[in-house]
Structure 1
Amino acid sequence: MPLSFHKMHANGDDFVIVDARNASNPVTSSLARRMGDRNRGVGFNQLAVILDCDDADARLIFWNADGSALDACGSATRGAADRLMRESRVTSIVLRTNRGLLTCERTSAGTISVNMGAPLFDWSEIPLVREMDTAVLPLAGDPAACSMGNPHCTYFVDDVAAVDIATIGPTLETNPLFPLATNVHFVQVIDRKHIRLRIWERGGGIPLGSGSCCCGAAVNGIRRGLLDNSVAVECDGGTVTVQWDGAGSVVLTGPVETSFSGVIPDSQLRAF
């Protein structure tokens, strides 16, 4: 069968939604990799597949553009929630991901808010290669680490514009300390309610934004005592809000938009 998809973005952080409810999941690692190719495919940072679910409105699974799977994607979760809420004409739904059940809501301003679950700090949950203090890693620059369903490593710098992310990002992503590799953040604290964030994304390069990275960066800043519990996170593509009380779940709020919809015909799918 032809494959229908929707290309969306959250402040320029682009992703593709494939709705596979009432059908078998058509997306494989190789198909995700081919669709993610910006020269020969659709192009995206992440892909989310919407599946049927017994205990939630739907289930989501995620792929990176390189064909690797991931457990969390704040931008694509908000995009899927936006589509499903419009379809059902509701302002709140519950989605299941590998992070558990996530409640999503449409705010009065029209943005989408998602409860991303509680951050993880134990070295084995991130994961790291051995036991250590995850608030201050034994790396130059003293970064902090956490997991939002995927690994995050946060550096606090004086000026993000001075960081050569394209050069140092790949090295940090694959540092032996992280057996599953890691997302890398570079955070400049503007004030206690506002940070400037640039990202090297695991399996993706330098995105205009990333929902889970915004959460991880804000969480690490709050646990360091640098930030208040509600933070405006300014990425290259725009700003989202991250709220965390220091103990419970992280709430991510920001805009999503549909760029276009399309169909990949059978002949191309067979070629893929």
Structure 2
Amino acid sequence: MRVPFTKMHGLGNDFVVLDARGDPLPELEPRVAAALADRREGIGCDQVILLEKSESADFRMRIFNSDGGEVGACGNASRAVALLHGAPARVETAGGTIALEPSDGGASVDMGVPRFEWDAIPLDYPMDTLRMPVGWGYLEEPGAANVGNPHVVFFVADSDAIALDSLGPEIETDPLFPERVNVNVATIVDRTRIRLRVWERGAGLTRACGTGACATAVVAMRRGLVEREVAVELPGGALTILWQEDGRIRMTGPATESYRGSFEWDDYA
């Protein structure tokens, strides 16, 4: 079975997009997603994105990390899908329904309302998620938010100086986080700018993470560190995050189509 795909990226966070809205595909099992994402023997990507029909929205978007695990949200992929779709749309995800609106070279995405309750992150036991009384080495007192998937956010003097390649996997898999967690280290530049690096659960260090930018921004806003609209600067580029008065997050930034191709499903099944 020959399957077409579109390779896309948002600020260097890259995706293999499979469009099954017209012709359905076999079930995308985790091992198949991981094989497609493999950068040596597959197509190579941070996430595999599967588009399907939906009864409650314009279409459904499923997101598989490079380890094959399925997750609830991906901000950069949402912008890429908006660009591919080419028109405003309501999109069903495992993390909730979001709204996409393409623009020149990118998109604006309504990411929904963030959750801050300890059991919505989720955490293993109750605690204040604005300033959590926990730490790992020199990373202490993070904030937490769920923006379709779980994030912890540490504010540090210099995010580039943090050994995130070693601390990231330790925190991601800590028993405190029963569904694992995305790890963000952020530096407040001023009240309108944040520098950010992200260890993404199931994918590792990434050049950009849209939900990480959203989570970091709203945690910083809850602590009174920044204004309600900020530029979040990631290694791959910048995103604009606006926490609207109605409680919903709007993320705006670029997306790019890299190339198109096809593969034999049985080569990866």
AA in 2 matched with 1:114: V
1:31 match: 32
Residues 56 and 135 of structure 1: CA distance in aligned 2, closer, same or farther (over 3 Å): same
Instruction: Report percent identity of matched pairs.
Output: 39
Deviation at 1:246, TM superposition (A): 6.4
1:187 match: 186
2:100 match: 104
2:121 match: 126
Secondary structure of the residue aligned to 2:206 is coil
Matches within 5 A, 1:23-102: 23-26=23-26, 27-85=28-86, 90=87, 92-102=88-98
**Contact 2:105–2:256 (CA<8 Å) still a contact in 1?**
no
AA in 2 matched with 1:119: P
Deviations 1:125-153 (A, max 9, x none): 11000111011112121100110111100
Residues 41 and 146 of structure 1: CA distance in aligned 2, closer, same or farther (over 3 Å): same
AA in 2 matched with 1:30: R
Residues 266 and 149 of structure 1: CA distance in aligned 2, closer, same or farther (over 3 Å): closer
Deviation at 1:23, TM superposition (A): 2.9
Matches within 5 A, 1:153-164: 153-164=152-163
Secondary structure of the residue aligned to 1:116 is strand
Corresponding pairs, count: 264
Deviations 1:104-124 (A, max 9, x none): 1124x5430010110011111
Separation in structure 2 between the aligned mates of residue 181 and residue 247 of structure 1, nearest angstrom: 29
AA in 2 matched with 1:59: R
Structure in which a larger fraction of residues adopt strand: 2
**Contact 1:229–1:243 (CA<8 Å) still a contact in 2?**
yes
Deviations 1:29-71 (A, max 9, x none): 1110101111111111111111012232211111000010101
2:213 match: 214
AA in 2 matched with 1:63: F
Provide runs of 4+ in structure 1 moved above 4 Å.
none
Deviation at 1:266, TM superposition (A): 4.6
Tell whether 2:203 aligns with 1:204.
yes
**Contact 1:146–1:152 (CA<8 Å) still a contact in 2?**
yes
Residues 266 and 202 of structure 1: CA distance in aligned 2, closer, same or farther (over 3 Å): closer
Separation in structure 1 between the aligned mates of residue 32 and residue 129 of structure 2, nearest angstrom: 36
Separation in structure 2 between the aligned mates of residue 51 and residue 267 of structure 1, nearest angstrom: 20
Residues 262 and 159 of structure 1: CA distance in aligned 2, closer, same or farther (over 3 Å): same
Give ranges in structure 2 of 5+ residues lacking alignment.
Answer: none
Deviations 1:165-208 (A, max 9, x none): 11111111111211111000000000011000001110111000
Separation in structure 2 between the aligned mates of residue 267 and residue 24 of structure 1, nearest angstrom: 15
AA in 1 matched with 2:180: A
Separation in structure 1 between the aligned mates of residue 9 and residue 55 of structure 2, nearest angstrom: 28
Separation in structure 1 between the aligned mates of residue 204 and residue 245 of structure 2, nearest angstrom: 29
- RMSD of aligned Cα (Å): 1.4
Residues 137 and 247 of structure 1: CA distance in aligned 2, closer, same or farther (over 3 Å): farther
Separation in structure 1 between the aligned mates of residue 133 and residue 264 of structure 2, nearest angstrom: 50
Separation in structure 2 between the aligned mates of residue 267 and residue 17 of structure 1, nearest angstrom: 18
Q: Scaled by the length of structure 1, what TM-score is found?
A: 0.93
Deviation at 1:267, TM superposition (A): 4.8
**Contact 2:244–2:250 (CA<8 Å) still a contact in 1?**
no
Give ranges in structure 1 of 5+ residues lacking alignment.
Answer: none
